Structure 1
Amino acid sequence: MNPLNETHAPALRSWVVSANAADTDFPIQNLPLGVFRRRGRNEPFRCGVAIGDQIVDLAAASERGVFSGDAARAVQAAAGDSLNAFMALGPAAWSALRLALSRALREGAAAQKLLEPCLSAQASAEYTLPARIGDYTDFYTGIHHATTVGKLFRPDNPLLPNYKWVPIGYHGRTSSIVVSGTPVRRPLGQTKGSDDTPLFGPSQRLDYELELGFLIGPGNALGEPIDIEQAEQHLFGVTLFNDWSARDIQPWEYQPLGPFLSKNFGSTLSPWVVTMEALAPFRAPLVRPAGDPEPLPYLNGAEDRARGALDINLEVWLQTATMREAGQPAVRLTRGNAKEAAYWTPAQLIAHHSSGGCNLQPGDLFGSGTLSGSGPDQAGSMLELSQGGKQPITLPNGETRSFLADGDTLTLRGMCEREDARRIGFGLCSATVMPAPAVRA
């Protein structure tokens, strides 16, 4: 697990002036990575690092010889059109590039003249997914979400007995994972009709799911589990993740094999990956309620218990089409915290996923599952906010929502804030709901 070092010093300032603003998501202490190109230009996508309102073009920095030694070798791996090769190098290479970038971007750095021509404005950029995602697994780590949703369907037995023993997950589809800003189309599917005769048409209960995405770095050999104490060496970084859900399609289709069309029509990933090293000041103990069972030994690491949780504030914002047309800003629906919402840590997910011998690979994505807090203002889905659609929420302009409507823009935000550390953020994870395709007569 990453220790604090000079790159985390709260007093560090950058010659990129916008990086010193108090409310920026991307101060010099953050340095998240993504894949971008300049909008409107016929050029390939390439890897970059966010700093203030700018992006450091890593291919350009490599060509100009900004870095040397281990950092130069690392930036060469990050000079392509995805982060996979860089992610595969492991923590030593990641840390070498982070340190070199931090020193080159600090006020008074000698590298400023070399690095300045490598900057591009974020306002003029377009993004693609930060990695080629080979496999995607969605977990169910949010215990408050699991309990609340369980009560809606099983009032007498909301939390199934395996939940506190095993990280629940299922394998999802990668082809419909899209980068923030890509519209998401309302899906068609079967829903339960009268008796046992289904209906086919657009989902009427379209929902968001507030999640974190965990991107894997180095993998493991087939048949060789990853020990809990080494699990974080295989974890590259964290993104925001909206795993959209069609709540009316899922109940009809999910038995006995789990979600299918209700989950595979679209998932939205934020463009910037905040590295685990950047998150070092914002780790927290794994806290379980009194009386809960201790994790089995393969999920129980001393360091993970002490610092395995992530202290990330999470928010959900909604702007309807009517609000947008009237020039009204988005309204915040909820605010919560990942360390209070998640019952399992990222390291435990890696240890469990590989425990049966599954071989993880660079660029694999884990979804945390919906991260809801204990209070109604911390809900990570409309299903919880509206109590299964029974209690619609009223927006400031008078509109009501039980679930999402066409034209709604849903945005996730995340930030880490502590008195002894510089605030860092994750940028935006946003998409607008488009109407469903026509139904065949």
Structure 2
Amino acid sequence: MTWVPDAAFAPDQPFGPRTLPYGVVDAGDADGPRVAVRVGDHALPLAPLRESLGDLADLVSGSSLDPLLAASRVEWGKLRARVREVVNGSAKPSGASLLPLTDVRGLLPFTVGDYVDFYSSSHHAENVGRIMRPETEPLFPNWTHLPVGYHGRAGTVVVSGTDVARPYGQRRGSDGPHFGPSARLDIEAEVGFVCGGPVARRVPTSDVAEHVFGVVLVNDWSARDIQGWEYQPLGPFLGKSFATSVSAWVTPLDAFAAARVPVPDVGHPRVDYLVEDSPWGLDLRLAVEWNGTVVSRPTFADMSYSCAQQLAHMTINGATVRPGDLFASGTVSGPSVDQRGSFLELSWGGRDKIDVGGETRTFLEDGDTVVITATAPGEDGSVVGLAEVAGTVLPADGG
């Protein structure tokens, strides 16, 4: 018996006491934005729980997760333990209040520093290679030796629920480039890792838990026609920098202890700095919903590089990782057609029609809504959740 509604403790509840993601909510009252944890379908603001949280309350008493991200893994663990005690307690603590999620608005929970996007699904990379370069080998020679990635634009990372305007750009035409709104707007279902802890360089794979605070879902919106014209020889730029959506709730990395799995074999030994002494692949099951219809169920366990390997590679040259940095996995795609994490793949470059609730699509139309969700196995048969990332396409804004 606890003071929290019983529904939050159901074994299939993805946001029960074993998950407890952190976010920032605004109820439209005088308190303004505040840090909270999600408990089932409610938000539990943390600032009023100073009596229960003690000296750790300062980490979550503001309007952002930034102070918490700047703390240490030891402090993250202590805070999580105290919050779990509050949620599991039989008596309602002083200052505690559960706010229905329908009564609050989720805000971007932290200040995004550097943003890096990787390309770590062999199935996705091979599919894209066959679609865009059909006369060549689908994977370049470097792909199985390092996690390929690029630096994105942190200033256009937006919280789930934010509408996305169709971007403008140059597109390839038979008589030269054409300028206008993208006609091949796409999504990429990804998993993002929110960094914290001390500033560091050359982070070994064994130290990932010291520098990754938690996990979010990411939609890397992509204008394929703009991307296809611009990406050679330097890679993604305007085709991806207009918007990247992330979950409003950050699930702590510690919540995924039961979901850790080895990454697949790439067919040869890893370079030493990419070798893991314990597995950091994650058994996450994603679902991509397009206008209310689930069109794909990508599997994250198929990714060829883990978050530990990605962070090690990102910093091996001496680059720093800082609190608030965000890096994403790259599109999550599995081996079967119904596990492809982008509409470029599902439509095979626009060749095949996709059934979306009785309508057909190849790429996104104005007014379309995409929602990406995910779960992972938890301890004792429970379920760990990743908060959804959702967005609706708006018409181009006039250029």
Work out whether the TM-score is over 0.5. yes
Alignment of 1:342-421 (within 5 A): 342-397=303-358, 399-417=359-377, 420-421=380-381
Letter in 2 for 1:316: V
Tell me the equivalent position of 1:335: 297
Name the counterpart of 2:228.
251
Tell me which residue corresponds to 1:299: 274
2:137 is the counterpart of 1:175: no
**Pairwise CA distance, 1:14:** 6.7
- Residue 25, structure 1, aligned to residue 4, structure 2: no
What do residues 285-329 of structure 1 show as CA deviations (whole Å, max 9, x unaligned)? Answer: 22215xx122111111211xxx2111111000011xxxxxxxxxx
One-letter identity of the residue aligned with 1:52: G
With normalisation by structure 2, the TM-score equals 0.96
Which string of whole-angstrom CA distances, capped at 9 and with x for unpartnered residues, describes residues 31-87 of structure 1? 11011110x33543111100111111111112xx122xxxx3333112111112111
Match of 1:140 in 2: 119
C-alpha contact (below 8 Å) 2:15/2:21 kept by paired residues: yes
Deviation at 1:169, TM superposition (A): 0.7
Do 1:212 and 1:240's aligned partners in 2 also have CA atoms closer than 8 Å? Answer: yes
Letter in 2 for 1:243: D
CA 1:93–1:427 in 2, change beyond 3 Å: closer, same or farther? same
- C-alpha distance in structure 1 between counterparts of 2:320 and 2:30, whole Å: 37
The correspondence for 1:314, drawn from 286, 289, 293, is 286
Pick from 31, 39, 48: which aligns with 1:60?
48
Q: What percent of counterpart residues are identical?
A: 40
Quote the Cα distance in structure 2 between the aligned partners of 1:85 and 1:407.
Answer: 37
Report the residue type matching 1:182 in the other structure. Answer: T
Q: How many residues align?
A: 398
In 2: Cα distance, 1:429 partner to 1:183 partner: 11
Matched, 1:204 2:186: no
Which residue, 166, 169, 174 being the options, matches 2:146?
Answer: 166
Equivalence map 1:259-278=2 (5 Å): 259-278=236-255
Q: How much has 1:13 moved relative to structure 2?
A: 7.1
Check the 8 A contact 2:168/2:180 in 1, yes or no: yes
Contact 1:13 1:20 in 2 (8 A): no
1-structure distance, mates of 2:378, 2:193: 22
What is the rounded CA distance, in whole Å, between the counterparts of 1:212 and 1:375 in structure 2?
19
8 Å contact 1:13–1:28 — kept in the other structure? no
Question: Where does residue 327 of structure 1 map in the other structure?
Answer: none
Instruction: Tell whether 2:372 aligns with 1:432.
Output: no
Write the distance in 2 (CA, Å) between the matches of 1:359 and 1:73: 29
Secondary structure at the counterpart of residue 144 of structure 2: coil
* Residue of structure 2 equivalent to 1:284: 261
Q: Cα offset for 1:418? A: 5.8
**Normalization by structure 1: what TM-score?**
0.87
Aligned-residue RMSD, C-alpha: 1.7
